[in-house]
Structure 1
């Protein structure tokens, strides 16, 4: 199926691994130009070079080392992407992490850092890219968020609160940017099988193999499908929302959590 993304330019933050990398790869496979950023320049360059080789995409990748919480860095990233490709048609706000801690275990500095990453990590790049997006007839922003935004967990107390704030913010952005023809949508993740879970498994000392361990984890978390998701299973709805075929969808949230959500 042609998602009509060929020769479009999409910015992806947090693109050196996991969902961000899978999204970049899928966009390249659709013929899009990808401007990608992450803090680890060496890792980003290596992974995107591999993606370029796999998809035969010479000249369609622009990689920059940048921190999404730095407004000036996001401005420079956007400017360099426009210089490389001539414009911007989409932004994927993917950079993020989870803070596994209860409220009592979390310092005030950690709370500030979580909210800065979740909120300014989106605001900084959207603000920098807005005027360029407004010039595109297919402009779209996708915020990669989490089901925690609607269904908080005590062991992820501050991350849950920051995610909820981001969900509220993206809904507001869908209204404020809609007048310029810019769509804003969210993808809410459940548990996705990325490097963090491999590392947690390796440090757990479990006698189970990885498949059994993640299966029990899924059962414990109430995931209906009984397994963790894959990065590609998250990338597909992200890329679909970027597509002009989703041109009448804005302010929406898509759950990608294997049925874990308990809300109506």
Structure 2
């Protein structure tokens, strides 16, 4: 199926690995021009080299999404290079494994700064260009934690809940400009971090067996972790003009872990 993304320009943050890189690869395969950012430029450029795309259709920029000026410079560079922006994927993020008791005020502020402003800075910076597109779309990569918090990820859960609420507000505010805003909520996805945890655990079992036990403990219906491509696909399809009547929606990619109604 043609997703009508050929020649479209899409920004992807946190694109040097994991879901961000998988999304960039999928977009490039669909013929989109991709503008990628991450904090580590060398790593980002190495990752960009794996895309099936003409180098002229790929822009890599070092950017800290919590720095408004850095984000604005990135968005301006995208417009200068490609002439506009059709899509934005707000993907930069991390998880803080800590209970409320063990979390400092600074760590709490950092989590909210990354989750909330990491998306808001980019959407604000890209808004004017997006409004000029005939198929503008924003996809915010979030987590099922936004609706189903965990005590060991208490602050991350709260920040992600705020981001989901923000996405809903943005979908209403930006709709008159023809800009769609949707969220993808992921569960346990192996983007390399879990492979490292397995290696560090000293467990002699194969990764699939080790991770299946964790999946069962977490109540994942499909009994396994997801992979980055399984998140990249719904992200990419939400960017497609074929989804032009979808905004303010959330898509779970969690293997059935969600227990909320």
TM score, norm. by length of structure 2: 0.99
Runs of 5+ consecutive residues of structure 2 not aligned to the other structure: none
Which residue of structure 2 aligns with residue 15 of structure 1?
15
Counterparts of 2:50 and 2:250 in 1: how far apart (Å)?
31
Correspondence 1:88 to 2:85: yes
Which residue of structure 2 aligns with residue 27 of structure 1?
27
Cα RMSD (Å): 0.6
| CA shift digits 1:61-82 (9 cap, x unpaired) | 0000010000000000000011
Which residue of structure 1 aligns with residue 149 of structure 2?
152
Please list every run of at least 4 consecutive aligned residues from structure 1 whose deviation after the TM superposition is greater than 4 angstroms. Answer: none
Aligned length: 261
Runs of 5+ consecutive residues of structure 1 not aligned to the other structure: none
Which residue of structure 2 aligns with residue 203 of structure 1?
200
Counterparts of 2:76 and 2:53 in 1: how far apart (Å)?
25
| CA shift digits 1:179-226 (9 cap, x unpaired) | 100000000000001111111111112121111111111111100001
Correspondence 1:119 to 2:110: no
Alignment of 1:1-264 (within 5 A): 1-51=1-51, 55-264=52-261
Task: Report SS of the residue matched to 2:170.
Answer: helix
Counterparts of 1:142 and 1:58 in 2: how far apart (Å)?
24
TM score, norm. by length of structure 1: 0.98
Counterparts of 1:238 and 1:50 in 2: how far apart (Å)?
19
Structure 1 residue 171 displacement after superposition:
0.2
Structure 1 residue 56 displacement after superposition:
4.0
